[in-house]
Amino acid sequence: MDEEIFNMQIRKFLKNVGVTSQREIENAVRAGLEDGTLKGEETIQAKVTLSIEKLGLSTDIDGDIDLA
């Protein structure tokens, strides 16, 4: 295994995850503000599940997002 290529591929994947996740969260929060589900002062709980089926990997990453 080429460690440099492996590292670059992981970074590429994580960049895609980060950009996509941010866009989806922003859209969901905006929709929640528009429909009244959110007031804009909350802290919302978020969870991401990372899984790689072939390796039997499944791990949850939990965090809070403050809106104010």
State pTM to two decimals: 0.89
DSSP state of 10: H
Locate tokens 């939990």: which residue?
A: 62
The residues, ordered by sequence, that sit 6+ positions from 64 with a Cβ below 8 Å of its Cβ are 43, 44, 45, 46
Contact 44, 67 (CB under 8 A): yes
Measured between alpha carbons, how far is 24 from 18 in angstroms, rounded to an integer?
Answer: 10
The token duo for 1 is 């295994």
3-class DSSP assignment, residue 61 = strand
- pLDDT at residue 35 in the model: 98
- pLDDT at residue 26 in the model: 98
Number of domains the chain contains: 1
Q: Range of 23's domain? A: 3-66
Residues 21-33 have pLDDT tens digits of: 999 999 999 999 9
